[in-house]
Amino acid sequence: VTDAHTTAASTLMHLERLMLHHGLTSYDATYLDLAYRLDVPIATQDKEMIAAAKSLKVGIL
């Protein structure tokens, strides 16, 4: 159980950093994080999302 808690806490901290650094909503940060982890592009026209995706080297459709 400790490993699951550590992983969850680490993921939440990463999402919080994305939200604060890039001005993203929790939904957008989660979407971007998932795309990053799966190495797939995102579909967006949102300026903040595009900037955040570029900084993480996530592709944009």
For 2-60, write each residue's pLDDT tens digit: 677 778 888 899 999 999 999 999 999 999 999 999 999 999 999 999 999 999 999 99
> What DSSP character marks residue 57?
T
Q: Supply the pLDDT for residue 21.
A: 95
pTM of the model: 0.82
Burial category of 32 from C-beta neighbours within 10 Å (exposed 0-12, middle 13-18, buried 19 and up): buried
Distance, in Å, from the CA atom of 21 to the CA atom of 37, rounded to the nearest integer, reads 18
Q: Supply the pLDDT for residue 4.
A: 74
Domain residue limits, the chain? 2-56
Q: Supply the pLDDT for residue 2.
A: 61
Distance, in Å, from the CA atom of 17 to the CA atom of 21, rounded to the nearest integer, reads 6
